[in-house]
Amino acid sequence: MRYIIELAYNGTNFHGWQKQLNARTVQQELEEKLFILLKNPIETLGCGRTDTGVHAKQFFAHFDFHELLDTPNLVYKLNRITSKDIAIKNINPIHDSFNARFDAKWREYEYVIATQPNPFLNEFSWYNPTSVDIDLMNQACQLLLTHTNFECFSKVHTQVNNFNCNLMEAYWKQDGELLVFTIKANRFLRNMVRAIVGTLIQVGLQNIDLTQLEEIIASKNRSEAGMSVPAHGLFLTRVVY
């Protein structure tokens, strides 16, 4: 029987979602705790990857187990034994063909920039007090929506079949002392959001104009785009099936 698990996590102390040798990851901790409670090795498949230090307000994974589970009780027990950096929200049975990664219709990320010093946001935003032109950055977002190939924003030497993504939304919004970038797409490339943010900041600083942004996208060359902004300002916020 297949189960879908919904969770959230603070990525500060994790090397991302996916299991790695000699590194603490969310997937590793979740599987270890499921093994303790279910007395069987459990393999999970997540809805995607998050890099070291990236957070998730909503994340899904699936796993198989041979028995019918008391899922509310399992949620309760998991939250008792997992670290405070992980919150288990729900576990529910689902059809056996469900795939947490490939069945997702779209995902949404937010990147948070603190424009003023705030000690309570150090782990969850990138402090950057530089004044930027938000209107110009939103014009650049509209330009992004006219494209599908985002190889210039992808981490190099990534093993993917293609670099095409269907962007549905991309915009900046000022929320008090925070500057928040929201982006929604059917899929994302490795490091894509952080590279887009770094490039759009250069647009907001008027170091890159819209014509140059078009040229960067057309180049398909990562070195032409802006820097990759720090991971701790990035959140996976929604996954929809």
Domains with residue ranges and CATH for the chain = 2-94 (3.30.70.580), 106-240 (3.30.70.660)
| Residues 6+ away with beta carbon under 8 Å from 202 | 208, 226
User: What pLDDT is stored for residue 36 in this prediction?
Assistant: 98
User: What pLDDT is stored for residue 177 in this prediction?
Assistant: 95
Whether residue 51 lies in the annotated active site: yes
User: Model confidence over 107-132: pLDDT tens digits?
Assistant: 999 999 999 999 999 999 999 999 99
Mean pLDDT, the chain, rounded, equals 97
pLDDT band at 137 (very low <50, low <70, confident <90, very high): very high
- Of the residues 51, 70, 96, 135, which is catalytic? 51
Tell me whether residue 130 is exposed, middle or buried, using C-beta atoms within 10 angstroms of its C-beta: 0 to 12, 13 to 18, 19 or more. exposed
From residue 88, how far is each of 66, 96, 163, 228 by CA, in Å?
21, 21, 32, 30
User: Model confidence over 157-212: pLDDT tens digits?
Assistant: 888 999 999 999 999 999 999 999 999 999 999 999 999 999 999 999 999 999 99
pLDDT band at 55 (very low <50, low <70, confident <90, very high): very high
Cα gap 181→174, rounded to integer Å: 9
User: What is the mean pLDDT of the segment spanning 21-27?
Assistant: 95
Cα gap 118→146, rounded to integer Å: 36
CA dihedral angle for residue 166, residue 173, residue 181, residue 123, rounded to 10 degrees: -160
